[in-house]
Amino acid sequence: MTVRELDAAGIHEPALRAAYTHCRGLNARHGKTYFLATRLLPVDRRPAVHALYGFARWADDIVDDLDSSATPGERAHALLALEAQLEAGLRRDRATEPVIRALADTARRYGIDRRHFTDFLASMRSDLTVGGYASYEELGRYMHGSAAVIGLQMLPVLGTVGPREQAAPHAAALGVAFQLTNFLRDVGEDLDRGRLYLPAELLAAHGVDRERFEWSRSTGARDARITDVLRAAAAHNRAVYRDALPGIAMLAPVSRPCIRTAFVLYSGILDAIEADGYAVLHRRAVVPRRRRAAVALDGLVRAVAVRAVRRSGREEPVAGPCDAAPSSRPRVAGAPAPVREEAV
């Protein structure tokens, strides 16, 4: 993490600076799309985003990337240990682990509800025992913790121009939209891990089942009915993006270029999947580097323009750290949701 970012955020304690720098490294190495978009935020807000990413990455690594010999019980124990460290950090006990130290500091600075972290860990634990979902409604309950709360964690950091509770449902929807895109892109890899995030009801509607997906994955053969399932899943994903889109205008102006860029980049993955004939069981769809660069440049131009307005003193009012957080649980993707849109 740059000295400039830490100084701008008012982070001066050496151990805390080292903790945030560690989280920034995790984001830069493992979350290239998110890291690229984060560069469009004002420098004082970037450390908090890196801390939030670092925590999510740590939990995800326990579930999927821990030593392959680890049993589900050992992974569950590791998640419980992580939650215990989180609780201690949020109680202001001095955390020794850098990710927890940075996350606890971010949560206190911005008044982020601790339930957004515990709900996230609950969904991570379910990945150890649940390998599929019967319906979009059932999947939506899982995704409240795995995705919607990510948007809700981010909202206090990004700031809003009005009551935060008005923007909260859209922030939650964007978190869900991003994860639905990941599910579609990674369907083959997830099958290899024993999980399928496409609801059984969706498969049944097109005359296939999980076993047919596994057959296609293992043999490399294509089935038009599977393509129809994937096309329908992409359409549902785009509908959730459309639900999320109005929320960008509710954010602090300085945060909009970052989120708009993420929206465009991530929805671009859906375009790449479509262009590749929905072959996600056999290869990973990738947004062309030239397209990523063009989107990033557009985001940079927008960010510079907004900062110029900010320096002139004409920026809209922004809800800052510790403003009242929403108390109501946002609607998460259920059966094909009312429509809204995205970025990468």
pLDDT of residue 322: 41
- Mean pLDDT over 97-102 rounds to 94
pLDDT of residue 229: 99
pLDDT of residue 35: 84
pLDDT of residue 323: 38
**pLDDT beyond 90 at 315:** no
pLDDT-derived band at 286 (thresholds 50, 70, 90) equals: confident
pLDDT-derived band at 293 (thresholds 50, 70, 90) equals: low
- Mean pLDDT over 290-299 rounds to 54
* Whether 75 and 157 share a structural domain: no
pLDDT of residue 283: 92
* Whether 223 and 327 share a structural domain: yes
- Interval 135-156: pLDDT, tens: 999 999 999 999 999 999 999 9
**pLDDT beyond 70 at 295:** no
* Whether 156 and 282 share a structural domain: yes
pLDDT of residue 337: 34
Lowest mean pLDDT among 48-52, 244-248, 264-268, 280-284: 264-268
* Whether 206 and 83 share a structural domain: no
pLDDT of residue 67: 62
- Mean pLDDT over 65-82 rounds to 84
* Whether 209 and 158 share a structural domain: yes
pLDDT-derived band at 66 (thresholds 50, 70, 90) equals: low
- Interval 185-205: pLDDT, tens: 999 999 999 999 999 999 999
pLDDT-derived band at 161 (thresholds 50, 70, 90) equals: very high
**pLDDT beyond 90 at 308:** no
- Interval 320-337: pLDDT, tens: 444 333 333 333 333 333
In the structure encoding, which two tokens stand for residue 7, read together? 């100084």
> Between 296 and 265, whose confidence is greater?
265
CA 325/CA 74 separation, integer angstroms:
35
Angle at 57 between CA 51 and CA 59, to 5 degrees: 110
* Whether 168 and 258 share a structural domain: yes
Listed residue (147, 179, 185) closest to 269, CA to CA: 185
pLDDT of residue 291: 56
Which of 83, 106, 129 is the endpoint of a domain? Answer: 129
**Average pLDDT taken over every residue of the chain:** 85
* Whether 89 and 154 share a structural domain: no
pLDDT of residue 321: 41
**pLDDT beyond 80 at 17:** yes
* Whether 199 and 102 share a structural domain: no
* Whether 218 and 337 share a structural domain: yes
pLDDT of residue 340: 31
CATH number for the domain including 44? 1.10.600.10
Which residue range is the domain that position 111 belongs to?
1-129
- Mean pLDDT over 261-279 rounds to 92
pLDDT of residue 296: 52
- Interval 207-223: pLDDT, tens: 999 999 999 999 999 99
* Number of structural domains the chain divides into: 2
CA 210 to chain centre: 26
pLDDT-derived band at 313 (thresholds 50, 70, 90) equals: low
Which of 129, 159, 187 is the endpoint of a domain? Answer: 129
- Mean pLDDT over 241-246 rounds to 97
* Whether 342 and 247 share a structural domain: yes
pLDDT of residue 305: 53
